[in-house]
């Protein structure tokens, strides 16, 4: 009976050790995936190819070409942002994203304001469209103090060249 108890105790200890080792390995893998993700996220680069301000100059539409390395092609993005915001390599298109539009095609996509909250995006009809919004909205922090709307909405229309 004593031999049986020792075996049982040994099996329980082995299970605990394996559980601890498995947990440590899992945490290490999560950390490694996070680290690799952060390293590779910096491989994308944005190059501005167009810029236009709303008629009241409160917002701007940035047209940019995005390149994420040799294994992917270029894509063209349109980001509608507050006028003070700057384009950086983490910026992605919140209004429109289309396939192609690298350096040989600087006017692949054109964004032009038709009013203070109206934007028209013109693009070629052939490439794949990955993202296309009809509206982009912004919270107006000062609207709480004033009477009025809490959200500023930009309406987007599209035209194929």
Residues 106 and 144 in one domain: yes
Residues 143 and 94 in one domain: yes
Residues 31 and 59 in one domain: no
Residues 105 and 37 in one domain: no
| Residue ranges making up the domain that contains 149 | 45-160
Calpha distance 77→96 (Å, rounded): 6
Burial class (CB in 10 A: 0-12, 13-18, 19+), 17: exposed
Calpha distance 7→1 (Å, rounded): 10
Calpha distance 77→98 (Å, rounded): 7
Residues 87 and 116 in one domain: yes
| The total number of structural domains that make up the chain | 2
Residues 91 and 135 in one domain: yes
Q: In what order do the strands lie in the sheet with 129-132?
A: 45-53, 59-67, 75-82, 96-99, 129-132
Q: Which helix (H) or strand (E) holds 142?
A: none
Residues 4 and 71 in one domain: no
Q: Under a CB-based contact definition with an 8 Å cutoff, are residues 68 and 44 in contact?
A: yes
Residues 120 and 134 in one domain: yes
Per-residue confidence in pLDDT tens, the chain, 161 aa: 566 666 666 667 766 666 657 655 555 666 555 554 445 555 899 999 999 999 999 999 999 999 988 778 889 999 999 999 999 999 999 999 999 877 667 688 999 999 999 999 999 888 899 999 999 998 876 655 566 566 889 999 999 98
Residues 77 and 31 in one domain: no
Per-residue confidence (pLDDT) for residue 73, from 0 to 100: 84
Residues 73 and 30 in one domain: no
Answer yes or no: pTM beyond 0.75: no
Residues 149 and 128 in one domain: yes
Residues 55 and 95 in one domain: yes
């Amino acid at each position: 009976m004593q031999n049986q108890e020792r075996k049982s105790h040994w099996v329980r200890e082995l299970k605990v050790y394996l559980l601890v080792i498995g947990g440590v390995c899992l945490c290490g893998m999560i950390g490694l995936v996070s680290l690799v993700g952060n390293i590779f996220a910096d491989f994308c680069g944005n190059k501005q190819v167009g810029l236009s301000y709303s008629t009241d100059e409160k917002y701007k539409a940035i047209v940019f070409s995005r390149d994420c390395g040799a294994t992917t092609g270029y894509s063209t993005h349109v980001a509608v942002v507050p006028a003070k915001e700057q384009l950086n390599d983490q910026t992605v298109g919140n209004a429109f994203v289309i396939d192609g539009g690298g350096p040989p095609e600087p006017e692949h996509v054109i964004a032009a304001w038709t009013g203070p909250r109206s934007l028209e995006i013109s693009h070629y009809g052939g490439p794949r469209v990955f993202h296309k919004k009809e509206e982009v909205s912004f919270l107006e922090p000062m609207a709480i103090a004033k009477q009025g709307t809490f959200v500023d909405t930009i309406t987007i229309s599209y035209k194929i060249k």
